[in-house]
Structure 1
Amino acid sequence: MPDIRLTGTLSSPYVNHTYHLYLDLTINSQSIQNNTSNITLRQWAYSSSDTYQAYSSSTTGNSCWIKINGSNVFYDTRSMDFRNQQVVELGTYTADISHNSDGTLTIAVSSGFDINGPSSLYDGAVSSYNWSLTTIPRASLITSFPEFTIGSGVTVTAPRYSTSFTNTFQINIGGTVIETTGDLAQDSYTFSAAQLDEIYATIPSAVSTTATAYVTTKLNGSQIGSTQSASATANVGSDISPTLSSVTAVETVTAVSNLALGTNNFAQTLSRIQFTINGAAGVKSSSISSYKVVFNSVTYTNTSSVVGTTGAITSTGAIVATATVTDSRGRISTSKTVTCTLLTYNAPEISAFSAFRSDSGGNASPLGTYAKYTAAATISSLNSKNQITYSIKSKLRTSGTWTTTHVSTSLAVGTTSLSVTPVYGTYTATTSYDLLLTVSDKFNSVTAGYVLSSGEVAMSWSKTGIGVGKVWEQGALDIGGDAYYKGTILESSFVSGASTLIGRTLSPLVTLASASAWGDLPNGYCGFISHSSVGAPPVSNYGYFIKIASRDMARGWGGIWIDYSGTGNAFFGRTTDGNVAASWTRIYTSDAAVSHAHDNTSISLSDYVSGTTPKVAGIISGTGAPPTASTVPTGTVYLKYV
């Protein structure tokens, strides 16, 4: 029996007579290997009537045909005889026909015939019929290949259409085969984390990639259909991050390093600490792209393991340095730390330095030719590794060279304080001396000066002058100590040099012709001055000057100059060396074009505090708290330096 029998129709002139037309459809066999079906199409007819029986012996006038998808697969001309109710064969077609790649196949089949003879039949036909053949089992389809984490494995599922089939599974990344199985009689396969490890090498700088799974189905070792594929995202696990073993801190300042302060001990302001990250490594084919250390709120980064070196560190105590590395995938390692202890360090400090005239035993003597010193100083301990070195020198006040070194020595390492009261000599009673104490530690030095005056007497005489309270050294009157006057001091002439004005309380016109002349003025001097251009303010040649303070050693000084001219310019001058011209800073001018001064102009205290007031002195109105936190009443003159 055929698989399907189709019935046809006939047209005039015998349409009402009993003729029967059939097309039998038969699947003879199917080839899974070749994905084909062997089919037979048979067209045949007969008449069930004894009265009307068509026939024609012509072999050319009669025709029959069979079509698949509208095209003849069989055509023939032959004699046809329907008498005696016999079966008339109208053509047979047998062939292998290929299925679609998925094993399915549907074809349109039709057939027909014509007979010309004593009783003609024509338009015999079997209408087109869509014949769906039995599906041939084909390649397995991938039904599951989910997104996965490389380190956790992944299962590829591809059910087989026949237990006789095998599946071969493969994982591929961008054309690189990661893992391939053999021919497996199973519908799924789980690739382990170890098998997928090679994926990491394909993405050294990424945290994900696209993976493709391939499944090839076979029967008896021969491939069935085409290889199937599916894609999924492969992710690097969040636990895959770079590592480092430690971070070390090393002193780079040789002088500090030589002290051997101890492991991870450093000196405040002195040390320069270099951080190095050790044992940093990428993981699963990544590489280290950057190194980072955070220390004392400062971040140091580099592309090499020597991350960076600090500047001066003002903090003290234990400070933690935290190190991390970042790999080419952007993953950051677990941190490692090192604790650095910053030992307190301050420059040496002299707390006392003085001397008085004495005898050789250190007993006070107004005219003694020896001096008993008091010297005290401290240094920072630095774990008892620091050391005090000190010296005491002297020279005549009129000399520019320290001619005598009385002592220059170092105390035991670890000693942090100096306290000595030595006696040195000799010092002529009629002469004053400059004394100098220098205290050093391993890193810095400080100095202090003192003036050992000439011998003390109630009064002394020389050929050219008188000394009061001291041995005379200079001028017509050389006074040591405070002077008290009752009455009026009269001035009969101007004096043209500063060096002769020691002790003068009046304000004559004094002409200063050199930078050193300014240094010669006594501390606290105030007067009316004429000057040349050397070391002077950049204004007119006349003005009022007050010397605020001066140094004993180098005759440095600071003072204020007020211009005598109508501009009313005021300057603050200072120099560290009395022989060197001073530098001057304008602190007031009435010239609005220069600094918009508030010359005798009322300004609000809020403007002053907010910073809108220019660099001037003026009359401030109102009350409130200026930067000094004191109350400024209305009308107070306040100098602001910005």
Structure 2
Amino acid sequence: MAVFYSTIGSLTLKVEYNYSSQHINENTSLVSYSVSLETAYGHWNKQNISQLTINIDGRQIYTGIHNFDLRGVNSFVLKKGTYTVNHNNDGTKLSDIYVTFNTDTTRIMNFSVRGNLSLPKIPRASTLGDVTGVLGKQMTLSIQSSSNSFVHNLEYKFGEIEGTIARGIATNVQWTPSIELANQIPNALSGKGLIWVNTYQNSKLVGTKQVNLVLSVPDSMVPTFNNITLIDSHSKANTLLPENIFIKGISNIKATVTDAIGVYGSKINSYRIEILNKVSNMTTTNGGTLGLMDYTGTHKLKATITDSRGRTASKIIDIVVLDYFSPVFSFRAERSKTDVKQIDTYRHIRIAPLMVNGVQRNHIQVSFKYKLSTESTYKDDINSTVNNIIEQVGFHQRLINSLRADKAYTLVMTVSDAFSTASSEILLNSEKVVMSYAKEGIGIGKVWEHGSIDSAEAIYAFDKQIQHHKLTENNGSIKESNKSINDIRETGFYFVKKDNPANSPFYGLLSVFHTGGKEAMQNYQTYDGARQFSRCSNYSTGEWSNWIELSTSVKKPWISSGVSNIFYKLDGNTMHVRGYVKSTSSGVVKIGAVPSQYVPQNLMFVVAEWNSFGDRNVHLQVDGTGTMSLLNVLSNMEYSFNISWGI
């Protein structure tokens, strides 16, 4: 109880303020108060004109007119009663009482008394700290209860899912959030929710507290896939070799991840399939190809999938890349010493040994054809296939057909393996004689067939052997060939198209210099002279090096993009675009196009707006088709640019 006084002269106003009881569910307390006058001398006012006012916590709870008579007594009670006080949300309360009294007697006395009373704290709704946990993993929720008489119900909401954690618990509870809640966050590693702590006393709700809930998916929650399927996009290689074995320079692996699925609502967002440590052999398309391989041996192929949560799953398998080179061969032919009409051939052949588990998967196929040297039509002869060997050295084989002794023939041997074909021809002279005469000419060491002088051996002039190798056609023009450039090693000048380094659909000029063994040098020039290339082959293996493009000093002209004042040109491996545009409207302005083969990808460049402030840029876009556009331009503005990119 609290007692407060105010004294004027011999008269005292006494205020008693007392706590009575509390109501927990309502968060209120019942207080009592008593206002009285005390004196040792008689004071009175019997006219009911003395004003009494009582305020509790700033609220007037009573005002009224009183009389009082202290004659013969020491104390006179003016007013007493009870009042319900509301507590703060945390259950605390410092209650204030303020009383005023005007005696309105001959000697007017105005009393005022102010005081306060600290009320017992009322237990409030229990609390719980913010909760962070992992789906599928048990956690302990510790409730901070204000009273031993409280019980609690815990509810939660996560995404669209609501549920009950526990009912009727006092303090702690063990909770394992269901792994199925991961379906509510298919695109994130964690999500936010809410937990409500409902506090009860005697089955009546005291209050509710809301706390934050953060749940994350476990580390083990990753997407899955079944296997990596590899198919060689080169049909012959795919048929010839078992799975996961490929051929250098021939195979182009088509890689597919099978049965890739997300987990608990996630989706597969991306794929990456690569040969480890080989940056050029990679695809981000499921079912895409990895590109040709320029190496051999055992290598690791890795497939990785990524789901919408950013989680990944990977598998690694081994692949084997076998070495390969085109068939290398030579041959000679001579007439039989016992029957000059019979032709004996002797050949040396070596092919790439595609060995798998001790079994040679490559094969040699040899065929011969012949014609009279003065004619153009060939006739077929031997056609044979040899399996399980990689080399023939000095192998003897006689032609099936007999060839006239008095005629010279052109003999062609063609060698094929599983992937390549190459041919070589020689001249088979007629039967040897010292000299023969004909109306049109003389034969030296052979029967005459054509020309003024038809010699079976080398011809000397001034004690020196003349040049017998044919570098050009008889009329001096270069030789036209339909062979692959890769198969031309004989010194000479050629007009060729197949497998040219410029990837041109037109014929170009090829110079070949054979230096001995399997070594040769090639120089290639496009027909317009704009591009030149050079390479050489290995002396021992005959394997060609990569082409090197030689720079030229020819100044190339600018070409119109199809729009006025916009031009482009290709300089080596660099594309240049320059131009000037004055816009007539805002938005997108098309500025023509460049050939699509010179656009390696979608491109975007920054172009400054031509104004006195220099404070605004727009973007120049080049899409995959070569179409160029200026984006977000303003009307009646000028734009000048000179951009370039590598191809």
What TM-score do you get using the length of structure 2 for normalisation?
0.68
Are 1:84 and 2:72 counterparts? yes
CA contact (8 A) 1:292 1:299 kept: no
| 398, 407, 417: which one aligns with 1:441 | 417
Displacement of 1:109 after TM fit? Answer: 0.8
| Secondary structure in 2 matching 1:136 | coil
Supply the AA of the counterpart residue of 1:139: A
Displacement of 1:471: 1.9
The RMSD of aligned alpha carbons is 3.8
Which of 382, 385, 405 is the equivalent residue of 2:380? 405
Partner of 1:98: 86
Residue in structure 2 matched with residue 265 of structure 1 by the alignment: 245
**Counterpart for residue 229 of structure 1:** 210
What is the distance in 1 between the residues matched to 2:351 and 2:463? 52
Deviation of the 1:301 alpha carbon: 4.0
Equivalent residue in structure 2 for 1:392, among 362, 368, 389: 368
SS of equivalent residue, structure 2 residue 212: strand
The CA distance in 2 between the partners of 1:612 and 1:346, in whole Å, is 29
Q: Which structure 2 residues correspond to residues 428-577 of structure 1 after superposition, within 5 A?
A: 428-485=404-461, 519-520=473-474, 557-558=492-493
Aligned to 1:73: 61
Letter in 2 for 1:257: N
- Aligned twin of 2:388: 414
Tell me the residue number matched to 1:39: 31
CA deviation after TM superposition for structure 1 residue 243, in Å: 3.2
What is the Cα deviation at residue 444 of structure 1? 2.4
Does the C-alpha gap of structure 1 residues 585 and 426 become closer, same or farther in structure 2, counting only changes over 3 Å?
A: farther
SS in structure 2 of the partner of residue 62 of structure 1: strand
- The reply on whether 1:337 has 2:337 as its aligned counterpart is no
Q: Is this contact kept in 2: 1:178–1:196, CA < 8 A?
A: no
The 1:557/1:71 distance shift into structure 2, 3 A limit, reads closer
Q: Does 236-245 or 97-106 show the bigger shift?
A: 236-245
For residues 471 and 19 of structure 2, the distance between their equivalents in structure 1, rounded to whole angstroms, comes to 132
SS at match of 1:24: strand
Partner SS state of residue 446, structure 1: strand
* Bigger share in strand: 2
Secondary structure at 2:288 match in 1: strand
Tell me the CA shift for residue 457 of structure 1. Answer: 1.3
Q: How does 1:158-307 map to 2 (within 5 A)?
A: 158-173=143-158, 176-177=161-162, 179-186=164-171, 188-192=172-176, 195-225=177-207, 227-231=208-212, 233-259=214-240, 261-295=241-275, 297=278, 298=280, 300-302=282-284, 306-307=286-287
Residues of 1 paired with 2:227 and 2:467: CA distance?
A: 73
CA distance in 2, matches of 1:485, 1:198: 98
Residue type matched to 2:142 in 1? T
CA contact (8 A) 1:397 1:434 kept: yes
Cα gap change, 1:204 to 1:464, in 2 (>3 Å): closer
- What is the aligned partner in structure 2 of residue 512 from structure 1? none
Does structure 1 residue 63 correspond to structure 2 residue 51? yes
Structure 1: runs of 5+ lacking an equivalent = 489-501, 506-515, 523-533, 537-552, 560-571, 577-581, 588-610, 616-642
Are the structure 2 counterparts of residues 612 and 343 from structure 1 closer, same or farther at C-alpha, using a change threshold of 3 Å? Answer: closer
Change (3 A) 1:520 1:73: same
Q: Any idea what SS the aligned residue of 1:294 has?
A: strand
Q: Which runs of 5+ in 2 are unaligned?
A: 480-487, 495-507, 513-524, 531-549, 555-647
Cα pair distance change 1:451/1:91, threshold 3 Å:
same
Q: How far apart in 2 are the matches of 1:344 and 1:518?
A: 35
Amino acid at match of 2:440: T
Alpha-carbon shift at residue 518 of structure 1 (Å): 5.7
Q: Residues 586 and 134 (structure 1 numbering): CA distance in 2 closer, same or farther, change over 3 Å?
A: closer
Do structure 1's residue 348 and structure 2's residue 336 form an aligned pair? Answer: no
**Equivalent of residue 5 in structure 2, options 4, 7, 27:** 7
Amino acid at match of 1:157: S
CA shift for structure 1 position 185: 1.8
Name the SS for the 1:401 alignment partner. Answer: coil
TM-fit CA distance, 1:147 = 4.2
Structure with max Cα Rg:
1
Matched to 2:445, the amino acid is: G
| Contact 1:293/1:307, CA 8 A, preserved across alignment | no
- State the one-letter code of the partner of 2:174: T
Give the SS at the match of 1:255.
helix
Quote the residue 1:621 is aligned against: none
Quickly say closer, same or farther: Cα 1:438–1:220, change in 2 above 3 A: same
The secondary structure found in structure 1 opposite 2:168 is coil
- For residue 233 of structure 1, report the CA deviation from its aligned partner: 4.4
> What is the CA–CA distance in structure 1 between the aligned matches of 2:338 and 2:197, rounded to whole Å?
112
Deviation at 1:356, TM superposition (A): 1.4
Distance 1:67 1:408 in 2: 125
Judge conservation of contact 1:575–1:583 (CA < 8 Å) in 2: no
For residue 519 of structure 1, give the secondary structure of its aligned residue in structure 2: coil
Letter in 2 for 1:331: R
Counterpart code for 1:184:
I
Partner of 2:618: none
Instruction: For 1:125 and 1:406, locate their aligned partners in 2 and report how far apart those are by CA, in whole Å.
Output: 138
Task: Give the whole-Å Cα distance in 2 for the aligned partners of 1:612 and 1:198.
Answer: 64
Q: CA deviation at 1:139?
A: 0.9
* Aligned 8 A contact 2:271 2:284 in 1: yes
In 2: Cα distance, 1:242 partner to 1:64 partner: 80
The answer as to 2:298 corresponding to 1:318 is yes
Query: Are 1:55 and 1:120, in contact at CA under 8 Å, matched by a contact in 2?
Result: no
Q: Percent identity?
A: 25
Change in CA separation of 1:107 and 1:396 when aligned onto 2, cut-off 3 Å: same
Query: After superposition, what is the alpha-carbon deviation per residue over 1:258-307, rounded to whole angstroms, capped at 9, x for unaligned?
Result: 33x3343333333332222234333344332222222161453446xx44
Matched residue type, 1:8: S
SS state of the match for residue 183, structure 2? helix
Closer, same or farther in 2 for the Cα pair 1:346/1:23, shift >3 Å? same
Q: 1:47 to 1:437 in 2, by over 3 A?
A: same
Secondary structure of 2:120's aligned partner: coil
Q: How many residues are matched?
A: 495
Is it true that 1:137 corresponds to 2:123 in the alignment? yes
Asked if 1 retains the 8 angstrom alpha-carbon contact of 2:364 and 2:390, the reply is yes
Q: How far apart are residue 47 of structure 1 and its match?
A: 2.3
Work out which of the residue numbers 140, 145, 152 in structure 2 matches 1:155.
Answer: 140
Structure 1 distance, partners of 2:526, 2:92, is: 104
Quote the offset at 1:423 in angstroms.
Answer: 4.4
Conserved 8 A contact 1:378-1:416: yes
Tell me if the contact between 2:281 and 2:291 (Cα under 8 Å) persists in the aligned partners.
no
Shift of 1:397: 1.1
Q: Identify the match of residue 108 of structure 1 among 96, 102, 107.
A: 96
Which letter does structure 2 place at the counterpart of 1:7?
Answer: Y
Q: CA deviation at 1:435?
A: 0.4
